[in-house]
Structure 1
Amino acid sequence: MKRRDMLIASASIALTNRTAIAAPEFPRSDTLIRYVVPFAPGGLTDVMARTVAQKLAEAWKISIVVENKAGASGQIGAEQVARSASDGSNLLAITSNHAVNVALFPNAAYNLVKDLRPVALLANSPMLVVVPASSPLNDFRDLMAASKARLLTAGSSSNGSATHLTMALFNDLNQTRMTHVPYKGGAPSMLDLISGRLDVIFSNFPESIVHVKAGKLRALAICSAARHHVVPDVPTTSEAGMPELNVESWTGLMLPAKTPDGVVDRYSREISRIMRMPDVQERVKSQGFRLNFQGPEEFAQFLNTEISRWGRIIKVGNISPE
């Protein structure tokens, strides 16, 4: 993505549809809120959406319905909310997939930058670099060296997925290439890795950690700036010599672009309070996730960075959905 385009995208996300119009009373006692999760139940996004929905409903004494609208890498649910009423009654759970989709699906029916506005970043989950337990690769530096010496096979849950893009970023940073083997989902790729039919997967943490704990896979590094409480003995990619390979799946919340500032601010303040609740923090930690609350402006800046970073990797790696 060219610098000019990056600046335009940044300005668009930060400033789109900011309005001085006073927000109507929100929420009213009869307000029904639909919180759309554009993926199947389970996982980071669904867990966080349901946690936030429950706490918001209790605090505001209203009804909030979580709806799973899976399909098209999160685009179906996102388009639904982007086209819905801008009165605060329609929420969208977004993930790193949506930042990737900006470059991966340039002709999508909705525009993440123009049609939606950031409200809050909620939590993240780092990628975990894993190899079979029988692999001769004992640490991340071994992987860096081996990928220069021979052509390794790297699995992913699909073309353009976080697992694929993390591998592509590794290749870009290490100036190597791997044979990419895409699967239809994380589970089948894990089975082939365990059996030794693959050399490595830059995996979603929840998909691989159970196999690491069972001794079927070896974790070489965690793609974050800090070690993870679930696997404190696994070094970070920074410690292992590649600090730029800092990749975490994340989830946040957006509203239709024309939602009044007052409504956005009300959500942001309440969610900030919810994220500080001990029971919420414990629930998130028990799932292996990390709370990482950011308000509208900080989240917008973070989203800009994600769109730019993955847009570049998609272009350099010539990555397409199929």
Structure 2
Amino acid sequence: MNRRTTVHALAAAALATVAAGAAAQAQSWPTKPLRIVVPYPPGGSSDIIARAISQPLSEALKTTVIIENKPGANGNTGTDLVAKSSDGHTLLLCDVGALAITASVYGRLPFDPSKDLKGATMLAYSPHLLVVHPSVPASNLQELVALSKRQKIDFAVTAIGSAPHVAGVGVEKATGAKWEYIPYKGGSQAINDTVAGQAHVLMNGMLATLPMVQAGKLKVLGVSKATRVALLPDVPTIAEQGVKGFESGTWQGVLMPASTPPAVLSKVSAELTRIIRSPEVRQRLSGQGAEVHTMTPTEFTAFFERERASWAKVVAQGGVKIE
């Protein structure tokens, strides 16, 4: 055996050893309870999905799964906690679109979402619903825009710089509407205040908002999807109402710290993909307007970077900035 052949053989053996070690590490993981951090208050889209997957995930991995709501700083408090976690057992379940917007909205962040976090898998997509309090005298987007030019319209947003906020800015710029943005600490609080009549208008994920529409507590004027949704077949899309090509929504996904071994990330991705696609979970979410939509870690990364670039343009156009 010549020197080159020997080197190649040694390299191959080293790689095989590393691969075997990674496989063994993934097989023995987890070694303690998992923590799923939701960086928003209870009751929003991310929280609903976290609670839908927690028990099946616990059974699959044979460990306790704890959900922790860590709201603050428009979702950045909980996200920073996960980005800096080193216990190997902390996951982030959040609105991926909102996370992609964060870097454009904030002048300075304590973490870099592209470098400090790795996407495990996407879970579901829920288009935004444009809704108003039933007392608002508008039955479509055009009437709402006209009304906003005659009187003050309070637009509830889940947080300044959130996906619903930036979507609202997009509609405002495209139609000439005039909103007064009222920030909240999460979707559930924004919904509750709009239901109570303390705000006039809201854009929020269908998963968390549809129950209030079905109960007659909110009136829906449009859906931010390319096509109408089956649960609301008579409700036109925002694109149909003059905002050509407009789409927005909440993309819930799971991320882990960048230090997570690839084999562990793949294991989490595989288990979550299986769980979210199961008939029970899929039916539970689709009944509230959320579409199961999974991605591999590689697909997730590509999606995230596309979203970050796309929303950066909207943020710049709307002048949405937090220092």
TM-score (norm: length of structure 2): 0.80
- Alignment-derived partner of residue 4 in structure 2: none
Q: 1: CA distance between counterparts of 2:204 and 2:60?
A: 36
Q: Determine helix, strand or coil for the equivalent of 1:190.
A: helix
Matches within 5 A, 1:280-295: 280-295=281-296
What's the CA shift string for 1:122-160, capped at 9, x where partnerless?
A: 11221112234455533334446x379767635123432
Give the AA of the match of 1:28.
S
Once residues 217 and 56 of structure 1 are traced to their aligned partners in structure 2, the CA distance between those partners, rounded to angstroms, is: 34
Look up the match of 2:194: 190
**Could you tell me which amino acid in structure 1 is paired with residue 194 of structure 2?**
M
Distance 1:268 1:99, change over 3 A: same
Q: CA deviation at 1:259?
A: 1.8
Q: Which moved more, 1:111-120 or 1:200-209?
A: 200-209
Task: Note the C-alpha offset of 1:40.
Answer: 2.2
Greater Cα radius of gyration, structure 1 or 2 = 2
Residues 151 and 297 of structure 1: is their aligned pair in 2 closer, same or farther, counting only changes over 3 Å? farther
Q: For the aligned residues, what is the CA RMSD?
A: 2.9
Residue 27 of structure 1, CA deviation = 4.4
The answer on whether the counterparts of 1:154 and 1:167 sit within 8 Å (CA) in structure 2 is no
Q: Which runs of 5+ in 1 are unaligned?
A: 1-19
Superposed CA offset, 1:302-321 (max 9, x none): 21122222222222211134
C-alpha separation between the residues in 2 aligned to 1:302 and 1:151?
Answer: 39
Deviations for 1:48-93, whole angstroms, at most 9, x for unmatched residues? 2233332222122223222222222221221122112274x22111
Change (3 A) 1:165 1:282: same
| 8 Å CA contact retained: 1:131, 1:218 | yes
Measured in 1, the distance between the counterparts of 2:27 and 2:227 equals 38
CA contact 1:154–1:178 (8 Å) conserved in 2: no
Corresponding residue for residue 10 of structure 1: none
Q: Deviations over 1:174-218 (max 9, x none)?
A: 3x24132314341465147x58x74x4334435653443344543
1:129 is matched with 130
Match of 1:7 in 2: none
Between stretches 255-264 and 210-219, larger displacement belongs to: 210-219
Counterpart position of 1:269: 270
Name the TM-score, length of structure 1 as normaliser: 0.80
- The one-letter code sitting in structure 1 at the alignment partner of 2:31 is T
Matches within 5 A, 1:222-241: 222-241=223-242
CA distance in 1, matches of 2:135, 2:110: 46
Match of 1:13 in 2: none
CA deviations on 1:222-262 (whole Å, 9 max, x unpaired) are 00123334322212223334343211112100111122222
Give percent identity, aligned residues only: 31
The one-letter amino acid of 1:179's match is: W
Alpha carbons of 1:281 and 1:168: their partners in 2 closer, same or farther (altered >3 Å)? same
SS in 2 for 1:293: coil
